[in-house]
Structure 1
Amino acid sequence: MSVKALTPADPVDALYQDHQGWLHGWLRRRLGNDADAADLVQDTFLSVICSGKAGEIIEPRPYLTTIARCLVAHRHRRRQLEEAYLAALAALPEEMEMSPETRALALETLLRLDQMLDGLPTKVREAFMLVHLQGASYQDVAQALGVSTSSVKQYLMRANQQAFLVLLG
């Protein structure tokens, strides 16, 4: 939807006018930070716009709350991942220290990997990580997960398809 297509009669505009203040307050209470709350309000309404379903929303507050909760969880998970990465970097010996550019690239890769794995079933995620991050064989993964090697192949195909979709943007 283009910005030009938004008019005062647009359902997104009406939804925003009616619920932006309430959603901002709801998020501010949960996050304890006005700036983060404002960012997530915008992200929530952007999600509504991208869905193309603003005119179909019957119960706006529960709908907006569901989107906002997912965004809060995603932000929390991303921050945990960043903190764990920075802690791991701090624990490295001096001779293994990375340049700021390499650090940024590694963090970006971790975040994309997290985005790719998000939403996949547990066994699919585990199979992907065992094969690609730990170098396990399909046989070892099958044994660890209690499934057949053909299931492992299907899991990896599904994870690789998800990776491809994430890379396409």
Structure 2
Amino acid sequence: MSSYPISDHPPAMSRIEAIFIEHHGWLRTRLRRSVGDAFTAEDVAAETFTQLLHSPPPQEVREPRALLTTISRRIVYELWRRRDLEEACLQALAHVSGDVQAISPEDQLQLLQALRAMDQALAGLSAKECAAFLLYKLDGLTYQAIGAQLRITPSVARRYVAKGLLQCYKAAGFAPLE
């Protein structure tokens, strides 16, 4: 916090500061019950206020706790989703290699980072589009087989896979072909 009085800050900043001062402790306590430990609760609370700071300035927040709850729930959901993804990856590695410890920590980190990047790239797809893309890339299924499994036509399966590929290309920084 700066040494300037709150009144010297822009109105939106002073409002967010007031919300922080009044509700930070409450949010941290609430999150600790939800996520199970103080460190994660503090991280989520900090990210909640960071997102609030970077959102459009609130004109008037009538229910600050409801707003903070909504933002923090999204963050906690993403945290759990990432943990589930990491756990699934580690289980798959253990199943394939028999021992996750045989893979170096650096390789595990690179794999998890790649999975997070792919997860983020595919986040804009529907469940069926994502499933079609993963069946094509990971399982090597044909459009016909994907269509049969997802109960869609092969041409729709092809379109879904193409959309997944486009998302990956965009995430990698490649411009789509016109």
TM-score by length of 2: 0.75
User: How many matched pairs?
Assistant: 162
Which ranges in structure 1 are unaligned for 5 or more consecutive residues? 1-5
The match for 2:157 among 152, 155, 167 is 152
- Please state how far the C-alpha of 1:126 moved relative to its aligned partner: 0.6
- RMSD of aligned alpha carbons: 2.7
The CA distance in 2 between the partners of 1:58 and 1:151, in whole Å, is 46
User: Is 51-60 or 104-113 further displaced after alignment?
Assistant: 51-60
The runs of at least 4 aligned residues of structure 1 exceeding 4 Å deviation read 164-168
Relative to structure 1, the CA distance from residue 87 to residue 18 in structure 2 (aligned partners, 3 Å threshold; closer, same or farther) is same
Q: Does 1:12 align with 2:19?
A: no
- Report the residue type matching 1:77 in the other structure: R
Query: Between the two proteins, what is the percent identity of the paired residues?
Result: 36
Decide whether the 8 Å contact of 1:24 with 1:37 is kept in 2: yes
3-state DSSP class of the match of 1:55?
A: coil
1:79-158 mapped onto 2 (5 Å cutoff) = 79-91=83-95, 92-93=97-98, 97-118=102-123, 120-158=125-163
Which ranges in structure 2 are unaligned for 5 or more consecutive residues? 1-7, 174-178
Considering Cα pairs closer than 8 Å and 6+ residues apart, tell me whether 1 or 2 has the greater RCO. Answer: 1
- Report the residue type matching 2:9 in the other structure: T
- Report the residue type matching 1:7 in the other structure: H
Q: Does 1:34 align with 2:38?
A: yes
User: Is 6-15 or 74-83 further displaced after alignment?
Assistant: 6-15
